[in-house]
């Protein structure tokens, strides 16, 4: 079912943050920072994979993501929805179902045997493909997936995620320079505001998280020097 009537973007961001906090997908730890995929420390971590285990929240967020994409990109803008391996696959399938479109998925790298393809499912030349993932930090993995899609002759100029870090200013420029528009539901600033509203974490932790969000590179350098 394609959703048609939903709150404005600001309210969807607030509700998304609230749901992520409710299922404890949000983790703040100032004393023992998490190590990101980049190898750098962070006092914040988010686990969007948990969403698949909460059907009411999962369904609501997929409705939100679908209507956000259609509002921003157009109601007839796509012919195919591709999920990125691995976290993007279930969300890609759920969005494709709502948009009544074929679903495919993109491997991080060729599987090394058989057809050795990065694309699974049917994707054809000229199709307009929406790439769906759980989150994005600096946009690097999105570009790799987009390139794999474009190698088939399909067009991929949009990617949609549940969560966007929103603290690395180069991300949207990096994607934009590659011809890709980013659509998202909420970011760390939305989560921080809702965490304060709910009192989900102690004040000192939230203050330190805000310091990190304002200048992540400075915070990381200070921690390692």
- Across 2-6, 24-28, 124-128, least confident range: 2-6
Report the distance separating Cα 121 and Cα 86, nearest Å: 15
pLDDT at 32 over 80: yes
| Predicted local distance difference test score (pLDDT) of residue 1 | 53
Answer whether residue 225 shows pLDDT above 80.
no
Give the DSSP H or E segment for 26.
strand 26-28
- pLDDT tens for each residue of 80-109: 999 999 999 999 999 999 999 999 999 998
Mean model confidence pLDDT for the chain: 93
Decide if pLDDT at 141 tops 90.
no
User: Domain 9-214: which topology?
Assistant: Rossmann fold (3.40.50)
Is residue 41 pLDDT above 60, yes or no?
yes
pLDDT at 37: 72
pTM of the model: 0.93
Cα 75 from Cα 113, distance rounded (Å): 38
Beta bridge partners of 84: 106
pLDDT of residue 107: 95
The Cα–Cα gap between 149 and 127 comes to 10
Predicted pLDDT of residue 199? 95
Percentage of the residues of the chain whose pLDDT score is greater than 70: 95
Per residue in 148-187, pLDDT (tens digit) is 999 999 999 999 999 999 998 889 999 999 999 999 999 9
DSSP bridge partners of 186: 163
């Amino acid at each position: 079912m394609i959703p048609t009537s939903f709150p404005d973007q600001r309210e969807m961001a607030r509700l998304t943050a609230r749901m992520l906090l409710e299922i404890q997908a949000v983790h703040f730890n100032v004393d023992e920072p998490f190590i990101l995929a980049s190898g750098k420390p962070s006092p914040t971590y988010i686990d969007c994979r948990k969403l698949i285990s909460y059907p009411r929240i999962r369904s609501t967020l997929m409705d939100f993501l679908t209507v956000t994409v259609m509002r921003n990109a157009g109601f007839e803008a796509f012919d195919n929805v591709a999920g990125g391996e691995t976290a993007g696959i279930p969300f890609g399938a759920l969005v494709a179902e709502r948009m009544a479109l074929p679903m495919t998925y993109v491997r991080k790298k060729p599987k090394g045997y058989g057809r050795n393809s990065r694309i699974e499912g049917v994707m054809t030349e000229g199709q307009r493909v929406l790439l769906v993932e759980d989150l994005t930090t600096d946009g690097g993995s999105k570009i790799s997936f987009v390139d794999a899609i474009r190698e088939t002759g399909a067009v991929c100029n949009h990617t949609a995620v549940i969560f966007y870090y929103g603290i690395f200013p180069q991300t949207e420029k990096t994607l934009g320079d590659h011809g890709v528009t980013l659509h998202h539901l909420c970011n760390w600033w939305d989560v921080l505001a809702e965490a304060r509203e709910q009192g989900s974490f102690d004040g000192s932790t939230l203050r330190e998280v805000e310091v990190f969000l304002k200048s992540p590179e400075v915070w990381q350098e200070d921690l390692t020097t």
